[in-house]
Amino acid sequence: MSQTYRTDSPVLNLLELGVERPADARVVVATVAAAAMTDLAVRSGVAVVAGAVLVMVVAAGLAATRRVANPQALGLLGAAVAFGACLAVRTSPWLIPFDVLTVGVLLVLAASLGRGGSLFDLTVPAVVARALHALAHGIAAPGFLVAADGPHRQAAGTALAVLRGLALAIPLLIVLGLLLASADAVFAGFFGGWSPETVVVHAVLLTIGAWGMAGLLRVAAASPAATPFVLPFRLGRLEATIVLGSLVALFAAFATAQLIALSGGGWRGRRDR
């Protein structure tokens, strides 16, 4: 069972790293799957089917591990998948960074609201608090994977042991494989296209994917964030509804444009002019 330490300082309470649901075997499996898809998606160019599948894998991992159960958070995961699908049908390269940013914000927000809270209750201080809270837990993500606990401790420990074994074996295999490949051309032909640079790129992308997924899972399992300050004014539900409704309408129009472009309607419209 995790322990949560709180002080009289709201800022220190904001950055406390208590976790109320430690990692289990499902967390490890979701992290490995996200790492593999990150490697594939980035090397494929992000704005491809693999990029859309990566978003689906991350969203499914957050839901399947039962770290995200809040209906609003599940809705945010669905929205992230919808925007992720645009990566496979995008028509303008300059839209890709905005699409990726939107997906990232939706996933982080879903993880932050995974165990409770409402979008309509978010104030500016609350958003800042949740952002700092998510950043702190994201940095501490590797420790979340190592500190497995609860009834799934043995299964998670086995999975982590496998990962540790692979972490020790892979560098040895790479070094010995390169030496053997340099000594025999036939053996080198088995690994055509591989190079030390390629191996490093794979390792970096796998690490980024695993770290990011573990960070989201840790945020979803963390103790609630505290609000460090209060503004002299507060936006009501009407203001929040107008802002959110405007954004939904804008993104809905964008998604409609993508569907029209995918069906070829946009090309026919330009040709008829």
Residue 3: predicted pLDDT: 40
- What is the rounded distance in angstroms from the CA atom of residue 102 to the CA atom of residue 56? 14
Residue 91: predicted pLDDT: 59
Q: Over the range 198-220, which residues count as b (16 or more CB within 10 Å of their CB) and which as e?
A: ebeeeeebbeebbbbbbbbbbbb
In sequence order, the 6+-apart residues with CB closer than 8 A to the CB of 103 are 55, 80, 83, 84
Q: What is the mean pLDDT of each run of 10 residues along the chain (273 residues)?
A: 44 60 82 91 85 93 88 90 83 77 91 82 76 85 68 55 69 74 67 68 88 90 66 60 77 73 55 49
Torsion of CA 189, 191, 193, 197, to 10 degrees: -130
3-state secondary structure of 12: helix
Residue 5: predicted pLDDT: 41
Give the closest residue to 172 by CA, choosing from 197, 146, 207, 199. Answer: 199
Model confidence pTM above 0.75 = no
